Structure 1
């Protein structure tokens, strides 16, 4: 049809041109050549006008179709965006429902794991006690030669050997995680050598010079039991602006005579004897209180709280810490838990799982006490560490042999790739600051900016952290330079033969009980109550 229409239009235009040429020749008296030229010019004009009209119509039609296509594409894009948002909301709601449905089950599985471990340890204790009880009759005839026994032998024998009567074993004491090594040290089957009253321990810190290790331990134990400790804060500032970004919290003990014990003075003694969980429980409670006070005034300032790796290894402390920080999720963005480098390397898989539980609550961790730069940032980031504190002397070693795995100038950029902030500690001079700025260090800490300062009493007056009341301790040695003149009596009974860990726990149930007396109230009570209810 369009083709026939085009033929008809061309025919009409030819007829019109021929008619005009004929009229010009016949009626107008124009010569034949001029009349034909006029007709051809008219035909050409009509053809050009017709083609222009056709192109204009085609252009308008194409533009209309393009507009319709653009409109349809926009509507399709909006529909796809709406569908994507609905899918996101659906995935989020399904994930929340799944977590809400599986969280009680995960908690039950964790509790069952703790109960199974407790049952295995208790079973080991009973088996060791039964082995000792059954082996005692066979060892009795060899332990007493007949030539050295007096004549009334039958009257003496029942008193010396009560074990063969197979009395029921005493109730097992709750053996906490990793207390085996402590029991071996405290209940070594080899009789200890007689103690020398006037032999001081040269490996103790200078503040304990002239004392034995037992005297120093008594001072630390008495200070923790009496809750004589102060919380000190030292700022961590940005470089070069020197604006306070964090506060480093540390605890200093006070002895009975007023001497101040730095963390380096008491930490080794307290960690080796199980005193750190009690102190760290109080420290964590006070840090939560302080960080709430800080964030109420400035949301940009946080707190770094030092904890001991030995406390994290205590199962009761770990459970109570997870519960306490779960209730304090509101300060997760402003409270950072700090651990020493050597403690991180010694952490067991159970300790790492505890850190991951705290990561799920939003808490992050800091690493301090770095002795070398053999650090894997990827591994730290996966464990939740967001800060690494490196001493200034180690950063500015300038090629000395300090076991470098990477040049210190590359550390800030390397840590930044994994979201870890590098903090340089122990800055004492302006020259150190200038050198560290060349390394692009963003955070610094040291006496150059401010020494550690104690927290004011009114800050902690609002809510005293839960803990044990100060006990009526007996006379303890003070930090005097005069050595003890008489040995400390050993209240433990002398071991009668080889003992396993479980048998030692049964034979000396006072060891964990004494630890519980030093631990703040609430630590481990939830776990023990759960065990009692389900056993």
Structure 2
């Protein structure tokens, strides 16, 4: 009631004033009162007409805005009702991912070429700086430095650059080896040109071993004649010593060295790296490891099989794509685990991540050959790493000068276990180290103290794949003669 009175208070006030003023006038001056009332009615009518026109204009404007909004709403509903081209978006997303991988690989190749060119410039400058001898003086040959010993039996640790970048031939035909290129000599000594350092990440260049053409020819010939073997070394749990996994190790049977005992990777791996055959080595080993994993799956075993991939294979996208297609077609390869060095995990670029991420969840990832114990458990779990392999000597006898971890050594295993990563101590050769590893809460171990690597049986590698038997058609059902007579009756 109060809002209504407040809205019409002015009209009520005017009506009361008119009643008080024009009431007596109507009695004493009826003509003037009639004229006054007519004028007031005319003014009120004009005001009402003006108000009506204003309200009409406002209504027309509001109706136009409502019409515009209804059209927009109808357009939005029509657009939302159309089916979204999901297949086109999926294809576009796949093309974008493929282009991202290709750009990453091209950037790695460009960085590799930059490092090789800078290395060649440094070699040419050093050769030009050598003075020309006046007379040939016989000089005793300098002793050749021995080949560096690899820290692990699978692949050497990647380095940023080497003093020499040997050219890897595209193909090798034993026993003819390519002779080294003659070193150019200048007529006058020229001071070396300073080369500014370039902080780029290039393809890891393996250390150059001592040249032995006959020995290298035998190694390459044995590799091409399928002298490669796969050996398995078990991984046991502590302190129960129950076999929970295996590691696939590469061995090469060379006829000239010792046919009875196959050579370990320290002997043949530098030569294969020199001639660019590490990717083929990984491809053969992965094929045989897949056969072993399928054999374990057929037996109902849940043991894992780990194979340490060469760091150089990360720069070969064909190998990882082929592995991705294989694991996508065969779910039984879930027990396969590929291991990469710590330096490779830390130096992954966009292209390499794009090739490894499709494998996550289908096979396992492992960190191998660490340089230090500074493990970020959350970051490793985000990469899909489920296993960390650390040499037992690094856990028991830390070297002076090596970067220390933020946590104690005895807390490394529990910290990794909290995010689902298991710690494996490798290279355990002394039985006296086993109690110390148990005191450090290391759950798994591997080494000669438990079992030596053994070759895989030939029937496992040559077993044909199991194919389901075709369904047999049911033969005609034989019924007794009495049932036939009973039906006839």
Distance 2:224 2:111 in 1: 22
Alignment match, 2:367: 367
Alignment match, 2:431: 430
Q: Secondary structure at the match of 2:323?
A: helix
Alignment match, 1:249: 248
Shift of 1:241: 0.9
Give structure 2 stretches of 5+ with no counterpart. Answer: 1-83, 128-138, 151-208, 466-489
Distance 1:199 1:219 in 2: 26
Distance 2:126 2:214 in 1: 17
Shift of 1:309: 1.5
**Where in structure 2 are the equivalents of 1:343-358 lying within 5 Å?**
343-358=344-359
Distance 2:411 2:263 in 1: 37
Distance 1:179 1:221 in 2: 26
Distance 1:369 1:214 in 2: 30
Distance 1:197 1:282 in 2: 44
Distance 1:240 1:248 in 2: 19
Shift of 1:324: 2.4
Shift of 1:307: 0.9
Alignment match, 2:10: none
Contact 1:237 1:444 (C-alpha < 8 Å) held by counterparts? yes
Q: Which string of whole-angstrom CA distances, capped at 9 and with x for unpartnered residues, describes residues 485-517 of structure 1?
A: xxxxxxxxxxxxxxxxxxxxxxxxxxxxxxxxx
Alignment match, 2:307: 305
Contact 1:233 1:453 (C-alpha < 8 Å) held by counterparts? yes
Shift of 1:213: 5.8
**Where in structure 2 are the equivalents of 1:471-486 lying within 5 Å?**
none
Contact 1:234 1:452 (C-alpha < 8 Å) held by counterparts? yes
Larger RCO (CA under 8 A, 6+ residues apart): 1
Contact 1:200 1:213 (C-alpha < 8 Å) held by counterparts? no
Shift of 1:341: 2.2
TM-score by length of 1: 0.51
Greater helix content: 1
Distance 2:353 2:104 in 1: 18
Distance 2:325 2:126 in 1: 41
Q: Which string of whole-angstrom CA distances, capped at 9 and with x for unpartnered residues, describes residues 443-485 of structure 1?
A: 1111111011111111111259xxxxxxxxxxxxxxxxxxxxx
Distance 1:98 1:250 in 2: 49
CA root-mean-square deviation = 4.0
Alignment match, 1:501: none
Q: Which string of whole-angstrom CA distances, capped at 9 and with x for unpartnered residues, describes residues 160-218 of structure 1?
A: xxxxxxxxxxxxxxx9787637975999895998xx998774242589xx951655554
**Pair 1:179–1:266, CA change in 2 (3 A):** farther
Alignment match, 1:412: 413
Shift of 1:289: 0.6
**Where in structure 2 are the equivalents of 1:24-423 lying within 5 Å?**
104-113=91-100, 180=113, 190=124, 201-204=144-147, 212=211, 217-259=216-258, 260-332=262-334, 334-359=335-360, 361-397=361-397, 401-405=401-405, 406-423=407-424
**Pair 1:264–1:342, CA change in 2 (3 A):** farther
Q: Which string of whole-angstrom CA distances, capped at 9 and with x for unpartnered residues, describes residues 64-120 of structure 1?
A: xxxxxxxxxxxxxxxxxxxxxxxxxxxxxxxxx9998865544333445567789x8
Contact 1:390 1:425 (C-alpha < 8 Å) held by counterparts? yes
Contact 2:218 2:256 (C-alpha < 8 Å) held by counterparts? no
Shift of 1:283: 0.7
TM-score by length of 2: 0.55
Alignment match, 2:175: none
**Pair 1:302–1:101, CA change in 2 (3 A):** farther
**Pair 1:116–1:408, CA change in 2 (3 A):** closer
Q: Which string of whole-angstrom CA distances, capped at 9 and with x for unpartnered residues, describes residues 208-261 of structure 1?
A: xx9516555544433332221110100001111111000000101222415433
Distance 1:227 1:429 in 2: 34
Distance 2:140 2:251 in 1: 28
Distance 2:366 2:304 in 1: 12
**Pair 1:107–1:211, CA change in 2 (3 A):** same
Contact 2:374 2:404 (C-alpha < 8 Å) held by counterparts? yes
Deviates more, 1:267-276 or 1:372-381: 267-276
